[in-house]
Amino acid sequence: MNDDAVFENYMWMKTGTREPIKAMYDLTDDYIDGLNYHHYWRLTDTAVCLAFEGYPEQETYFSDDQWELTHEFQKVYLTERFSKDASNLEVSRILRKPISVMEKKVASLLSNEDHVTASSLKYLIYSAHDDQVTNMLNFLGQD
């Protein structure tokens, strides 16, 4: 996303989440207007973290649509802070093992071998940070 698109997206998301953020933190319009993208993101991130930790402030302050938009801040911020090349590099490293296993399985199927030489591995489970999951979804073209 270019800088203009990031800014337009931010302004749209800020407009949609402004009132619940204002109420939740007891902020003024002037204070919110003075926040840059990263400072505003910290407020949305804190709201999401509180919910994750078992303090569901969103039930008091946010509609379902506003809460979904608050989560969108996470996706935009996490993908904005890395260049596309860096995100793809990170994801390519994460995908190295599963792609290797898939290549072996496909080669085995295409060679019509009676015995399977590829790993008997059926699935992989990875543990990842939210930015890695977001980068993976972007890399795979998922919304």
Question: In the chain, where are the structural domains located?
Answer: 3-80, 84-139
* pLDDT confidence of residue 122: 62
* pLDDT confidence of residue 71: 80
48-96 pLDDT, tens digit per residue, is: 888 888 888 888 999 988 988 888 777 666 666 555 555 555 565 667 7
Is the Cβ–Cβ distance between 58 and 47 less than 8 Å?
Answer: yes
Spatial separation of the C-alpha atoms in residues 135 and 91, rounded to whole Å: 7
**What is the CA angle 91-40-15, rounded to 5?**
105
Query: Where is pLDDT greater, at 85 or 8?
Result: 8
> What is this structure's pTM?
0.54
* pLDDT confidence of residue 121: 57
86-140 pLDDT, tens digit per residue, is: 555 556 566 777 777 777 777 776 676 555 555 555 666 666 777 777 777 777 7
Spatial separation of the C-alpha atoms in residues 35 and 30, rounded to whole Å: 9
Is the Cβ–Cβ distance between 70 and 58 less than 8 Å?
Answer: yes
Query: Where is pLDDT greater, at 126 or 25?
Result: 25
